[in-house]
Structure 1
Amino acid sequence: MSRKKQILTAVGTLGCALGIGFVMQNSEAAEKRYGPDQDMSALPVPQDYVTKNSASNALLTVEAITLTSGELSSDVALPTTDSRITTVSAPRSVLAEPAMPDTAKIKRPGCAITADARPVATAMVELQLDAPCLPNERITVHHNGMIFTETTSATGSLSVQVPALARDAVFVMAFTNGDGAVAQTTVEDLSDFDRVVLQWKGDTGFQIHAREFGADYGTAGHVWSGAPGDMAATVVGTGGMLTRNGDTMAADPLLAEVYTFPKNAAVGSGDVALSVETEISASNCGVEIEAQTLEIDSGGRIKTQNLTLPVPDCDAVGSFLVLNNLLQDLKVAQN
């Protein structure tokens, strides 16, 4: 696919050492890249910006990019019987949330809060919560460093599917008033899948893009929020899938996007190229945005990295920033 590019040089802690690649594309190139059906009308590129930049390949500089390794720590007390379980949680400075609930207060007389977790296909877990005295309330779900916010229904219930990050999976669901519930289950097939997580707070425009076995943007094998794949294909090994957790309609929501690939059932072999991308919009231009990645290694431990990215000024609205090497590409051997 032919695409015009403007390269953004990265200057910041660990950014150059790790070889993070930054690419900015204008909205015309983005349409070719993401498909003609993407509505860019709400994010126009000013004409003086197009005229000024399309005639040159001048490098634009993005400074003060910070990329650090997250510490392996946890606010959640997990079972210690399995040495493969390593828990992490998002740093408070990146994804600040209310403190975890006191387990002694997870029930109130006459208004019990109950929760249940059960494994389903592709190492997913179906969570069910019933809190009849807390309808239409914000609730934060914590699981092995992954964190996202949801909203209960008018009857105080919640039903979501969450990608598991541990075989012995524990989920803590916390309301802002300190009430909450804990549910756990065993996910036997977790080792059959590769899984990476990108999480952030608010309207940052962050996205995971996976290009399977040499797929180009906008073609079969390009998995992202605009073409997330499906569970059936992942079960039979023909492709990966993308899921997102978090209520985007809530105020300052915590969101988590997860890419899953069936490494032990793949019908093809080769590399899956992973990138983190963000669209420059009126809500993030000219400010610093933060995110965190979680990746499960071969021993079942979770590695985290925190990202602070200064977004170009608002004359670049409609363009995309591409971080090519923030997530480690997957290498798949045919089975």
Structure 2
Amino acid sequence: MDMKRSLLRAGLVLAVALGAGHLMQKLADSRTHTAELATPQPKKIEKVSAGPQAAPAPSPAAPQVALAALTAETPKLPPLTLLPRLPVLAPPAAAKPAPEASVAPDCTPRLSLTATPRAMITLALNAPCAPGQRVVLRHAGLVVAERLDAKGQLSLDLPALDDAGQVSVLFSDASITTASAALPDTPLPRRFAVQWMADDSFQLRAVEAGQHYGDPDNVSTEAPVSARGGYLISLGDPTLDLPMLAQIYTWPADAKTTADPVIEAAVTEVTCGRDLLGETVQSRDGKATVTELTVAMPGCDALGDILVLNNLAGNVTLAAQN
């Protein structure tokens, strides 16, 4: 009896369990059906690779500000180490301009000749690289030596002895500079010159019409211009080591005025007892003629005497004056 009850109780329990399971199944089916009706079915299903799915990103939360609690002690920072001051740099110096290439001076001598009244030639010589130098001037047989000034310049008036008016300048290095101042239309006056070198000294005197030799109005270095218009010019620098000197006499412009040039040679300790050498230059009608001059001087017992050479326009004669 008890067994049956137990079995019956068991059957009832099982029945109840089965009934409960059937009821649970019904409820589950009902929920599923309801869910299927409520949830729309996707139109398209995409396959994705297997693997862990990323969790959905949480919605951003409002920023939280956390204030650190102040402590009673403030941490001490290490002392600052100051960097040394930067040196004050001076402004860059302005670049110096490159020195200009030195230009060699133009040492070319320049000789200028100009025909001036009374048949004169004005000479201007500029040789900047030859200051103080000795130069030799040549013109129509006349030869004299002059000295350039501190700037290498020389200016003088030269009596023209021919129509060509050519003048050459010889420098110490043997170079020559030449120029001309032609006087073809200028009637040249009659002229007479004597020239010499170094100690072979001569003096020129002119005795014009109506005069006698030795008169105070003779044309000489003491009275270089006469009342009649005759004049005497001395050329050359006597202070040079080898002087080359000359004296030129010009006749008066009036052709009726006669003149007799005279050469004097003084007997000195330097000239006595030897021959003096020189040259004469005569200019007539624009033509120059050069003649050698040799004078045999008396012995030194005649110191102070003067030898006089006259008639130089024609034949030369020699006379002595005590």
User: TM-score, normalization: structure 1?
Assistant: 0.59
1:51 corresponds in structure 2 to none
Greater share of strand: 1
Query: Aligned letter for 2:209?
Result: F
Structure 1 position 261, deviation (Å): 1.4
Q: Output the CA distance in 2 between the equivalents of 1:220 and 1:120.
A: 30
- Cα deviation code 1:259-304 (max 9, x no counterpart): 00134x45xx353122211111122111111111111234x33222
1:91-170 equivalences in 2 (<5 Å): 110-170=106-166
1:31-50 equivalences in 2 (<5 Å): none
- Cα deviation code 1:147-171 (max 9, x no counterpart): 1100111111111111111122110
Pair 1:312-2:312 in alignment: no
2:245 corresponds in structure 1 to 255
Query: Aligned letter for 2:233?
Result: T
Q: Which structure is richer in relative contact order (CA contacts within 8 A, separation 6 or more)?
A: 1
2:268 corresponds in structure 1 to 281
1:159-308 equivalences in 2 (<5 Å): 159-187=155-183, 190-219=186-215, 221-229=217-225, 238-263=228-253, 265=254, 269-298=256-285, 300-308=286-294
Structure 2 runs not aligned, ≥5 long: 1-103, 316-322
Structure 1 runs not aligned, ≥5 long: 1-107, 330-335
The number of residue pairs the alignment matches comes to 212
SS at match of 1:223: coil
Determine if contact 1:199/1:257 at 8 Å carries over to the other structure. Answer: yes
Determine if contact 1:139/1:151 at 8 Å carries over to the other structure. Answer: yes
- Cα deviation code 1:18-54 (max 9, x no counterpart): xxxxxxxxxxxxxxxxxxxxxxxxxxxxxxxxxxxxx
Determine if contact 1:124/1:164 at 8 Å carries over to the other structure. Answer: yes
Higher-Rg member (1/2): 2
1:50 corresponds in structure 2 to none
- Cα deviation code 1:92-126 (max 9, x no counterpart): xxxxxxxxxxxxxxxx9731211101122221111
Question: Structure 1 residues 171 and 254, CA, compared in 2 at 3 Å: closer, same or farther?
Answer: same
User: TM-score, normalization: structure 2?
Assistant: 0.61
Query: Aligned letter for 2:223?
Result: A
Percent of aligned pairs with the same amino acid: 33
List 4+ stretches of structure 1 deviating above 4 A: none
Query: Aligned letter for 1:292?
Result: E
